[in-house]
Amino acid sequence: MIVAVKTSNKKRFFIKLISAIAVIVMFVAYYFHMSNEFVLQQKREQEKKLKTIEIDKKVALQKKIERIIYREVETAVDLIGQRNIQDVKIISDKALIVAGTGTNLDALKVRYGSTALIKTDITNTKIAIDLKYVIESKLNENN
């Protein structure tokens, strides 16, 4: 036995209309969702670029400070005389230079004044140069 069920054209039309509206609503919702995702992704990329720029600036400043310290210690060694130097160390924000006892430190005293602390022992002379002051003055000079 074959049973045939007839549906009215009105029901088919409403089902097709509701299906079409549902598909259109899904496409519109998907479009707005993806546009919001795209905006968020662009914001993340922009923040990432800003962070890399800040990191690059910090690295450039660190390299600049390192060059200033190197040049300043090199100048101090030249003023004292390289033959008289026994040891050079950088401890926190001071450059510690150990020189022989018979070293002429007049040029060093003229250049650094009170920022260079000098202590003379029986075996050697220790000189501590305040690098914080030197770096601040050099950075302000360049700006």
| Per-residue 3-state assignment (H helix, E strand, C coil) for 18-71 | HHHHHHHHHHHHHHHHHHHHHHHHHHHHHHHHHHHHHHHHHHHHHHHHHHHHHH
- Spatial distance between the Cα atoms of 75 and 108, rounded to a whole number of angstroms: 9
Confidence band (pLDDT; 50, 70, 90) for 61? very high
**pLDDT greater than 80 at residue 8:** no
Average pLDDT over residues 31-49: 95
Average pLDDT over residues 39-63: 95
For the record, the structure tokens of 23 come out as 């598909």
Q: State the DSSP H helix or E strand holding residue 134, giving kind and residue range, or none if neither.
A: helix 131-142
**pLDDT greater than 90 at residue 112:** no
Say what the pLDDT of residue 40 is: 95
Say what the pLDDT of residue 38 is: 95
pTM score, two decimals? 0.66
